[in-house]
């Protein structure tokens, strides 16, 4: 891997329109922690006038990969491709400290593997049920290194359903079949938010889709790619594609995974990968594209719902109107817009696990803005965002239930209670 192509770098005309949209620039006002400054560093790396020093690598590591700069840039600079290639370069050229290497190795030995996440879930159940979690949180937690402390604080509440819940291979369409779709179950989504996949299956079926859930599907590779682990990511992509044949569409309900799946064609360059990517639809996008069939009934209580736009939905996939369209169609729902909604929440893949202080700073702003809308419920289409926002709310002693838009729609269609 070499530094990104000069043409891509030279597309940046230094206008600075992206700066106020960049969460790290908003945090610190540092040029080198803005999109423009990072592109300048890429240019200097390419020209050989700077090397991949700890300081240079640090500026790239602090980038969330949120892509707010991509949607803000009037010159169409492909910062998404630039940072993806640069992250791979960082992993190749920069030797991280021992603790950083260990921490990242632990993350990547765990998160892309649903079976290992299930084993972790079993440990978390023991940890919670025996009271160890309460004990640690009230005693020794402050002694943990900051990254482990953050990991502990982010852990979701798990129940036996997280451990033993399974998905069917196939769900028939209700009524006349409109089409056959395949669902990608995700890794974190499958284990930590099984209700989101279950709601997706119910809604798609109610809307006349036969849904296939291919067995043995693994990680899509998004987490690895966003951390510069290019080869690992592409291996995951090839293995996943092999599991999906014959469906009219491939539906995904996790924003970060969806944007990566749509990029397989560019990343792998094969006809098979291009055909696969062309079929991928975020579940909001998929459902909003055809006339609803299932009746939308009022929820038990009128709800003020604050819509959080995950970066990989709003910036990477440019999906903004669709979840709103679905939620507004539910009788009794009032949809609230979060101020500065184009800003990241600080989750950003593994960002809050490897850059906890910066993630917290950014997350606090998000939660301030969220609470200013006085919502009853948070709608969030990405599991990482939900965990990050819920963690900050917990730390503030506040409680706000959260649900994926598809769970809210499911509650309206099937009457399944909201989480």
Which residues would be at the binding site for ligand SF4 (CB under 6 A)? 12-18, 21-24, 35-36, 38, 63-69, 72-73, 75, 77, 79
Residue placing its CB nearer to ligand SF4 in the complex, 230 or 407: 230
Handedness of CA 415, 329, 310, 303 (dihedral sign): negative
Residue placing its CB nearer to ligand SF4 in the complex, 12 or 42: 12
Q: Which residue has the tokens 């009219």?
A: 248
Residue placing its CB nearer to ligand SF4 in the complex, 205 or 259: 259
Closest CA to 308 of 222, 407, 377: 377
Q: How far apart are CA 233 and CA 220, in angstroms?
A: 7
* Shortest distance (Å) from residue 11 CB to ligand SF4: 7
Residue placing its CB nearer to ligand SF4 in the complex, 195 or 346: 346
Residue placing its CB nearer to ligand SF4 in the complex, 30 or 169: 30
Q: What residues are paired with 251 via a beta bridge?
A: 183, 281
Residue placing its CB nearer to ligand SF4 in the complex, 294 or 348: 348
Which DSSP letter does residue 31 get?
A: G
* Shortest distance (Å) from residue 299 CB to ligand SF4: 34
Q: Which residue has the tokens 């079929």?
A: 279
CA-CA-CA-CA dihedral for 261, 262, 265, 271, to nearest 10: 90
* Shortest distance (Å) from residue 193 CB to ligand SF4: 25
Residues 381, 259 contacting (CB under 8 angstroms): no
* Shortest distance (Å) from residue 22 CB to ligand SF4: 3
Cα 250 from chain centroid (whole Å): 17
* Shortest distance (Å) from residue 311 CB to ligand SF4: 8
Identify the three-state secondary structure at position 294. coil
* Shortest distance (Å) from residue 69 CB to ligand SF4: 3
* Shortest distance (Å) from residue 49 CB to ligand SF4: 19
CA-CA-CA-CA dihedral for 77, 79, 82, 83, to nearest 10: 170
Residue placing its CB nearer to ligand SF4 in the complex, 81 or 141: 81
Provide the 10 A C-beta neighbour count for residue 419: 16
């Amino acid at each position: 891997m070499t530094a990104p192509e000069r043409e891509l770098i030279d597309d940046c005309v230094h206008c600075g329109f992206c700066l106020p949209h960049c969460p790290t620039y908003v945090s610190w006002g540092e040029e080198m922690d803005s999109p423009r400054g990072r592109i300048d560093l890429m240019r200097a790396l390419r020209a050989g006038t700077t090397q991949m020093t700890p300081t240079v690598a640090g500026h790239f590591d602090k980038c969330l990969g949120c892509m707010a700069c991509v949607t803000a840039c009037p010159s169409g600079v492909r910062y998404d491709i630039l940072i993806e290639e640069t992250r791979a370069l960082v992993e190749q050229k920069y030797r991280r400290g021992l603790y950083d290497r260990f921490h990242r190795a632990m993350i990547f030995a765990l998160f892309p593997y649903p079976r290992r996440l299930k084993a972790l879930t079993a440990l978390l159940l023991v940890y919670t049920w025996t009271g160890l979690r309460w004990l640690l949180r009230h005693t020794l937690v402050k002694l943990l290194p900051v990254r482990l402390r953050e990991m502990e604080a982010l852990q979701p509440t798990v129940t036996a359903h997280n451990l033993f819940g399974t998905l069917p291979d196939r769900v028939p369409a209700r009524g006349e079949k409109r089409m056959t779709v395949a669902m990608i179950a995700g890794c974190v989504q499958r284990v930590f938010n099984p209700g989101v996949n279950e709601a997706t299956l119910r809604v798609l079926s109610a809307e006349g889709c036969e849904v296939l859930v291919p067995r043995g599907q693994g990680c899509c590779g998004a987490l690895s790619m966003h951390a510069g682990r290019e080869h690992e990511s592409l291996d995951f992509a090839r293995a996943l594609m092999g599991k999906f044949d014959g469906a009219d569409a491939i539906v995904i309900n996790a924003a970060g995974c969806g944007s990566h799946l749509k990029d397989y064609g560019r990343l792998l360059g094969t006809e098979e990968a291009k055909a696969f990517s062309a079929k991928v639809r975020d579940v909001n996008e998929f459902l909003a594209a055809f006339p609803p069939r299932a009746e939308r009934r009022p929820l038990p209580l009128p709800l003020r719902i604050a819509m959080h736009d995950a970066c990989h939905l709003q910036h990477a996939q440019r999906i903004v109107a669709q979840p709103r369209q679905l939620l507004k169609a539910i009788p009794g729902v009032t949809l609230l817009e979060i101020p500065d909604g184009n800003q990241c929440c600080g989750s950003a893949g593994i960002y809050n696990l490897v850059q906890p202080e910066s993630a917290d700073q950014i997350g606090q702003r998000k939660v301030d803005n969220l609470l200013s809308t006085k919502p009853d419920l948070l709608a969030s289409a990405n599991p990482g965002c939900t965990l990050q926002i819920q963690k900050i709310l917990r730390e503030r002693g506040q409680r706000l239930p959260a649900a994926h838009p598809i769970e809210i729609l499911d509650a309206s269609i099937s009457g399944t209670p909201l989480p």
